[in-house]
Structure 1
Amino acid sequence: MREQHTSIRRTLRICSSRRFRFLFACVTVFSLFSLLFSRLNTVTGQRTLSRYANRIPSVPKIRVPTSDSILNDFRQPVNPLPREKNDIFDDRSGSEKLLSVPFSSALALALDEYRSILPPLEDRAPIYCYHDPAAAEDRTTADAESDLLLTWRRAWWAHGFRPIILGPADALNNPLYGELQRLDLEPAVKTEITRWLAWETAGGGLLSFYTVLPMGPEEDPELIFLRRGIYPKLIRWQGLDDGLLAGSQLDVLAAIKHVLASSEPKQVKGFLAAAPTERFQVDDMPKPIVYYDASLIKTKYGKVNEALNDSRARGLKSLNLLINSHLHAAWQNHFSDGIAVMKPLPEHSTHMISDARQLAVSLSQCSPSPMVNSCPPNNDQCNPCVSSRPMHISTPGRYQNISTLYTIGTVPHPYTTALLRELRKEVDIPWIRWNSPRDPWLRAATMGLLGATVSSAIRVVRFKEMVASQYGTAHSLWLTAEKLIEEDKLKDYLDWHFGFAIPYDQDRGYSDPGPGRRPKPEHDPVDGPVANEADLALEPFLLQRARELHVTHNDVDGEEGGDRHQAVAVRAAIEAWNLGDTEAWKFATAFLAQRIVERLEWEKDESG
């Protein structure tokens, strides 16, 4: 019994020692911190997973009685991230908001290999134009006005706006429309107030005539201000009269009420004359905005004025041609250094970039015009387009960050790159692993910006900025070598991308007439080496083979034989080996598809 008491006293003496108390405190603190960090990591990981889990249809949702408990690691997200309205286009469009993430699979959990992380579509500030088609004299005049409205919509869309046509029905829905009809006003004044009523019904913003168009670079400060869509007061500009107005719905409504409350309606000669001047902020003439009013046409464009005096329909057609040619000329003058058609693999991609080259030739030509050598009204010192001296077209192997040089790129899938670069009709997995270089296209394209020692992850991020940043979209266009988008749909989109009808001329365009008739090119050293005739003859066949074998992971279902399955396996291997080139191709494809879907959806909404 004495030995037991002695043992207990010895144990108590050890537990009460300073060394034991310090050790016990350390263990306690370590346990608490481990528990805390484990909880935080679990919650953070669950939030990250829940944000993207709703995008993966193959992951089932777990339903258990305690699934909503904060202690359950597998509980369902409270607010799952919704997909954007234009998220699907041939299974290659994405909906994420980040340009700084190099590889999309990092956020897609590698389960949706064809989903790409895209920047969000920017909200387009609306710009309205009031038009009454019933006021046209005849069908020919109505068609001419419709063509001019198309030119107006196309130009404003290309500069980042959402052009919307208003009509009498919009004014009819305004509560003040009945009050307007009870007033004894001149027909022209009543039409002018009806225009304001339709504008107020639409919610305010920008109101324009269809002869007011933007003819300046997208980065112009005036255009940036207008694209914000925030106007603290009613704004009009010197020299534009009421051709372009800006204001909030409340300010527009207040101005309308003031004009309708006039004690002498018969004395009202115009809306601006009757509206109080203190309600308007009058700014200087905006340089990038052009207004083709009657006085300007009469003073500077005599041929168009003669056509208008002869026949309104013929005059409007002539004016439409003049405006389109001026929009084209303004674009050409902004990119005074010409057009660069990207050719990172110069010896084996001549045929691959032929579509981009064809587009560049069309852009370098002159649009039809009733006054060929005329300049836009806001640039009397322009360099008018001359057929004998078109824009310079180069085919550099590296991207050049020059603000006055427009870039057209053709991004190939790494499988296409492998066939063309090696001039082989097929490749196998051992060759990919032991002999093929990694990301050859992306490395060559960004060599001038990033040098030779940068990783593919950094190159991908820089490439995404080249394609999708505000500067990139205004100074470049990126196509894909595999022609995943229908040609007619792409050609229609390009007119809206540039803001004018591109003068496609097949006779003067670029084509490959064959080895015996191909003209000697004027070689620029910056364009890199020139392919020999034998290699050029192989390119069309290899490119077509790459396009035929370019299938998605679902295209093999139901196929007989193993050739197609083998091709898909090789493609998957080459994608895994060239993560940078694959991500660049996916991003360029999805970005172009996203922009096409955006315009098609808007066109569907505005089809009425």
Structure 2
Amino acid sequence: MPRAPNPCTYLPRRLQIVASLTAFVLFCILFLGSSGTADSDSYINNVPYGPQIQQGAHQVVDHLPKLPKDLPHVNAPQWLNPFRGPAHKPPEQANSSSGEARWYTDFKWRNPFSSDTTLDEERAVLPPLAERAAIYTYFESTGKDEKSKTAEQQLLQIWRRAWWAQGFRPVVLGKPEAMNNPLFRAVQGLELEPEMDKEMMRWLAWGNMGTGVLSNWLAVPMAAHDDALLAFLRRGEYPSLTRYEGLDNGLFVGNREDIDKAIKQAIASPAMKRVKSMAEAVTAETFTVDPEHSAIAFYSTSTITGKYNLIRNKLDKPSTAGEGLAMLPTLINSHLHMTWQNIFSSGIAVLKPLPEHTTTLIEPAIDIARNLSQCPDTPIPASCPPNRPRCKPCVSSQMLITVPPVFRNTSTLFTIATVPHPYTLTSLLHSRLEPNAKFIRRETDRDSWVLAATKELLGTGLSSFSRLPALKDIIASEYGSARTLWLVGEMPPSRESEMDLEGLDWHFGFTLPRSPMSDGKSETPVPGPERRPPPPKSEFGEGPPLSEQELSHERSLLEQAKMVLRRSTGSRKGKTGAKSFAFMREVVEAWSLADTECWKFVRAWEARRRVERRGWEGEEERFQGKGMFGRWIDKVT
């Protein structure tokens, strides 16, 4: 009689063993592992000391600490749960793209990977934009010659740039805002001193705008970003009308109700016609007087008379008054630059985590560092700002530039970091522009840039994914963003997409020198050797510098890598002829996920900064140079 066929004989020996074990486990689960409550109770009762063990187990469970109800939900990536249904991507937000950079604003920006929130590999999650407190100034041109008018426009631009860099939204007001105030008619019937008439126009314009800060356009912030006064002003909440002792009419803060009360009280004051300031026109109880104002430099007439004789002597003579006023913008800009240098007394660090073959990658950062370390142009060498009489002038100190391999969290050290795309980094380190998947997996390290940059800060035990939240906090937190500048290694030729020199001016709050003094020659009264920045000091000890041939080879690789990335982007947008470039890029990005996330985050962070500033400039542009009252203009030719 023929034997019945065994289905297991059709399987290989190893699969037979696996199938047998699987069947045995399923049998145990179905028939031996399932029992009712009654069966369990009877079994426990038959076990020696069973009820006592069960009661003790219940007591232990009851005394365990309960988990908090508001425990955050961990949103696992889609690929970890194949049974989870698809989800729609969050909608596009307004003003959330610039060039190739795209972003999404959310409070979960510190999560390691943006795609967990956006469900989009191309969108980076950025922190919500901080609301900028409004700061107002009132301007009426008094210049009688072209030099004076040009100097006034330059001073207004310096005022705007300095306050913007400190996190404020500067607004220049004029007579139209004063005339729009309902109290304007009451002031028009008064016969006031010229100084008081202008002061009332300032207050009427400020009252028309409401709560905020009123600043003279010669009062600029010169302090660290986290200064107590600047932090208070940035909050935008002013419980009382406040003036600052020693600043005269340089700075006021208050809310709309208190401003209107002060204006009405001044109008009703019998001394209104003979006083020259609001502080004299109202009662002493109207203002809260704050003696702390060390963060503000006010270049008032009395300050210039007492501290800057060269400018005073020219202003005193009608024939040279325009020349004297023209010297003031350069002086204030030099003081802003010098104050920044004093704040970062430990120098500038140009981050270079992977020293081999990345010299050309950080050349733009080196140029920026050398410009920042230069002695600024000034008509009065060795002078100090009004609020910092014990400053360290640039002629008596040098700002050190170092090239460390790791990021260091030092409050007095400013860091400039260049983050390369993983494809660019691979091309430079291995001198290979067409790496295949096999080469990437076997010959390259994963997330080498992130691991190297944070090795000292976070140690060597954390994975690259775990380092991303700390790195994002360094880049985008209020503390970190004031002490760092982050660039992408692939600056495209389009001026719309790169961090240009004008953008750097608005980031730092002063005009940077446009080129480093490589030969030591000085174009100002500052001596040449003191003005020339010292060469960067590297911490690698890699021996002699690269030859011109080696640097030329690096530059060629860098430019070709930029071209490949641009072509791969065109392929993603549906353009033909670049599929191979897109495939290489996707392979490298998939292999170094943390490096890719950091690069996309920095690209989006810097792009959003430009979009925010240009949006504000677009809003203010329609108020520039309009009307018959000689309003100010933004660009000075």
TM-score in terms of structure 2 length: 0.78
Q: Identity of aligned pairs, percent?
A: 42
Q: Is the 8 A contact 2:568 2:581 kept in 1?
A: no
Superposed CA offset, 1:502-552 (max 9, x none) = 012255399xxxxxxxxxx97846245256435433100100001111137
Q: Which piece of structure 1 moves more, 206-215 or 501-510?
A: 501-510
Match of 2:219 in 1: 212
1:489 CA drift (Å):
5.6
2:182 is equivalent to residue 194 of structure 1:
no
The superposition leaves residues 83-120 of structure 1 with CA deviations (integer Å, 9 ceiling, x where unpaired) of 544311124231223332001111122xx321001011
2:379 to 370, 376, 379: 370
2:597 maps to which residue?
583
* Alignment pair present for 1:342 and 2:342: no
Partner Cα distance (2:600, 2:206) in 1: 41
CA distance in 1, matches of 2:282, 2:467: 57
1:92 aligns with 2:101: yes
Structure 1 stretches lacking a partner, 5+ long: 1-16, 24-43, 53-72, 511-520
Contact 1:116 1:586 in 2 (8 A): yes
How many Å apart are 1:288 and its aligned residue? 1.2
The TM-score with structure 1 as length reference comes to 0.82
Q: CA deviation at 1:567?
A: 1.3
- How far is the alpha carbon of 1:396 from its aligned partner? 0.7
Work out the number of aligned pairs and report it: 531
Mapped partners of 1:145, 1:599: distance in 2: 22
Determine which of 306, 313, 316 is the counterpart of 1:309.
316
Q: Which residue of 2 aligns with 1:140?
A: 147
CA spacing shift, 1:271–1:209, aligned 2, 3 Å? same
Q: Find out whether 1:602 has 2:616 as its counterpart.
A: yes
3-state SS of paired residue (1:367): coil
Partner of 1:529: 542
The 3-state SS of whatever aligns with 1:128 is strand
What SS is found at the alignment partner of 1:550? helix
Task: State the Cα distance separating 1:166 from its structure 2 match.
Answer: 0.5
How far apart are 1:262 and its partner, in Å? 2.6
Name the aligned partner's letter for residue 529 of structure 1.
E
Per the TM alignment, residue 291 of structure 1 is displaced from its structure 2 partner at its CA by: 1.1
In structure 2, which of residues 559, 578, 583 is the aligned counterpart of residue 544 of structure 1? 559
Superposed counterparts of 1:12-27, under 5 Å:
19=38
1:406 aligns with 2:414: yes
Alignment-derived partner of residue 160 in structure 2: 153
The equivalences for 1:487-502 within 5 A come to 487=495, 490-502=500-512
Please point out which of 81, 99, 118 is paired with 1:108.
Answer: 118
1:176 to 174, 183, 187: 183
Do residues 505 (structure 1) and 512 (structure 2) align?
no
Q: Which residue identity does 1:380 align to in structure 2?
A: P
Contact 2:211 2:254 (C-alpha < 8 Å) held by counterparts? yes
Q: Of 126, 137, 160, which residue of structure 2 is paired with 1:129?
A: 137
CA contact (8 A) 1:346 1:528 kept: no
Which among 241, 244, 249 is matched to residue 237 of structure 1?
244
Residue 222 of structure 1: how far off its partner (Å): 1.4
Show the counterpart of 1:40: none
Q: Is the 8 A contact 1:240 1:285 kept in 2?
A: no
Q: What is the correspondence of 1:473-488 to structure 2 with a 5 Å cutoff? A: 473-484=481-492, 486-487=494-495
Distance 1:297 1:171 in 2: 29
- State how far apart, in whole Å, the 1-side matches of 2:349 and 2:616 are: 31
- Aligned: 1:439 with 2:447: yes
Instruction: Compare 272-281 and 532-541 and name the one that shifted more.
Output: 532-541
Cα shift readout 1:393-419 (whole Å, capped 9, x = no counterpart) = 111110011111110000000000000
Residue 554 (structure 1) shift: 5.2
Partner of 2:210: 203
Q: Secondary structure at the match of 2:273?
A: helix
Q: CA deviation at 1:186?
A: 2.4
**SS state of the match for residue 101, structure 2?**
coil
Answer yes or no: is 1:452 the counterpart of 2:452: no
In the alignment, does 2:338 pair up with 1:329? Answer: yes
Change (3 A) 1:403 1:523: closer
Unaligned runs of 5+ in 2: 1-35, 43-71, 79-83, 521-533, 624-637
- For the residues of structure 2 that align with 1:163 and 1:125, how far apart are their CA atoms? 8
Q: Structure 1 CA distance, aligned partners of 2:538 and 2:417?
A: 19
| Maintained 8 Å contact 2:420/2:490 | yes
Partners of 2:86 and 2:391 lie apart in 1 by 64
1:300-348: CA deviations, max 9, x gaps? Answer: 1111112222333322221111111011110001111110011111121
1:118 aligns with 2:131: no
Paired position in structure 2 for 1:427? 435
2: CA distance, partners of 1:462 / 1:18: 50
Mean CA deviation greater in 481-490 or 491-500: 481-490
Partner of 1:41: none
Change in Cα spacing, 1:214 to 1:269, as seen in structure 2 (3 Å) is closer
Answer yes or no: is the 8 Å Cα contact 2:222–2:297 preserved in 1: yes
CA distance in 2, matches of 1:363, 1:523: 13
Residues 88 and 552 from structure 1, CA distance in 2 versus in 1: closer, same or farther, beyond 3 angstroms?
farther
By how many angstroms is 1:214 displaced? Answer: 0.8
SS at match of 1:127: strand
Asked if the contact 1:423/1:535 (under 8 Å) is kept, the reply is no
Note the C-alpha offset of 1:558: 6.8
Q: Give the root-mean-square deviation of aligned CA atoms.
A: 2.9
Distance 1:93 1:173 in 2: 40
Q: Distance in 1 between matches of 2:308 and 2:440?
A: 63
Question: Do the aligned partners of 2:405 and 2:540 also contact (CA within 8 Å) in 1?
Answer: yes
CA distance in 2, matches of 1:546, 1:154: 35
Give the deviation of 1:136 after TM superposition.
3.1
Match of 2:48 in 1: none
Alignment of 1:26-65 (within 5 A): none
Contact 2:401 2:536 in 1 (8 A): no
2:393 pairs with 1:384: yes
Measured in 2, the distance between the counterparts of 1:18 and 1:266 equals 95
Letter in 2 for 1:595: R
2:269 and 2:282 in contact (8 A); partners too: no
Range moving further from structure 2, 353-362 or 443-452: 443-452
Residues 342/173 of structure 1: CA separation in 2 closer, same or farther (3 Å cut): same
92-101 vs 315-324, which moves further:
92-101
Bigger drift between 304-313 and 463-472 goes to 304-313
